[in-house]
């Protein structure tokens, strides 16, 4: 059976950056299961998985445009230190939930200087090439519920 619309595919992956550093991997964990065709994984990876079958192993490089997008300068903001009430230490790399008119977004502190905290609301992988090593471990037909809800039901349903 091949990966296509209305199938659920499970795959193991290792994601590395341009320097070959591992960013994320499913090794030692459950494979990642997703419903194909609904955009629940980055578009470039979904395209690369189309038509693959169980046992296929391949490498794919996904450009930022087909991955997490290119960084948006409007999502980088300087906030006065006082805005972080009740937090003793603020250091680069710390992540916070920020409320915006569009809802909550996750922001990462990039700089702390002279009482000004610079936060970046871009996805940490925005603007980066994504190098995936993929192994397809299961392909099955999606259930009616899965098609209706647009996501996979099953054990260990953790979301990315």
On whether residue 49 sits in a domain, the answer given is: yes
User: Would 160 be classed as within a structural domain?
Assistant: no
On whether residue 2 sits in a domain, the answer given is no
Looking at the chain, how many residues does it have?
160
Three-class DSSP category at 32: strand
Predicted pLDDT of residue 67: 96
Question: What's phi and psi for 58, nearest 5 deg?
Answer: -160, 165
pLDDT digits (tens, 9 = 90+) for 30-88: 999 999 999 999 999 999 999 999 999 999 999 999 999 999 999 999 999 998 888 88
Q: Residue 59 sits in a domain of what CATH number?
A: 3.10.50.40
Can you read off the two tokens belonging to residue 55?
């046992």
pLDDT at 151: 86
Position 93 in a domain: yes
101 and 144 fall within a common domain: no
CA distances (Å), 157 to each of 27, 32, 119, in order? 17, 9, 30
Indicate the pTM of the whole model: 0.78
Both 114 and 130 in one domain: the answer is no
Q: How many other C-beta atoms are found inside a 10 Å radius of the C-beta of residue 86?
A: 4
In this structure, the strands spanning 95-100 and 103-113 are antiparallel
Instruction: Read off the DSSP letter of residue 81.
Output: G
CATH at residue 98: 2.40.10.330
Residue 40, both tokens? 């629940």
116 and 132 inside one domain: no
Q: Which residues pair with 46 in a beta bridge?
A: none
Q: How many domains does the chain have?
A: 2
The beta-strand segments (E) located in the chain are: 7-16, 22-25, 32-35, 57-62, 76-80, 95-100, 103-113, 116-120, 130-141
Does residue 155 belong to any structural domain of this protein?
no
Task: Specify the DSSP element, H or E, that contains 118.
Answer: strand 116-120
Closest CA to 139 of 42, 22, 27, 31: 31
Same domain, 82 and 101: yes
pLDDT single digits (tens) 88-125: 899 999 998 887 787 888 899 999 999 999 999 999 89
Domain limits at 87? 73-120
Q: Are residues 79 and 116 in the same domain?
A: yes
């Amino acid at each position: 059976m091949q990966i296509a619309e209305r199938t659920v595919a499970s795959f193991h992956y290792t994601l590395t950056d341009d320097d070959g550093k591992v960013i994320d991997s499913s090794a030692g964990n459950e494979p990642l299961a997703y419903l194909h065709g609904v955009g629940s994984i980055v578009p470039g990876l979904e395209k690369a998985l189309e038509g693959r079958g169980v046992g296929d192993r391949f490498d794919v490089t996904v450009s930022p445009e087909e991955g997490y997008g290119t960084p948006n300068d409007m999502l980088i903001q300087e906030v006065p230190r006082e805005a972080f009430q009740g937090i003793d230490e603020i250091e680069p790399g710390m992540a916070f939930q920020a409320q915006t008119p569009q809802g909550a977004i996750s922001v990462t502190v990039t700089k702390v200087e002279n009482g000004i905290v610079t936060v970046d609301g871009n996805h940490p992988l925005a603007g980066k090439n994504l190098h995936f090593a993929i192994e397809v471990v299961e392909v099955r037909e999606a259930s009616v519920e899965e098609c209706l809800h647009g996501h996979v039901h099953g054990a260990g349903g953790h979301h990315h």
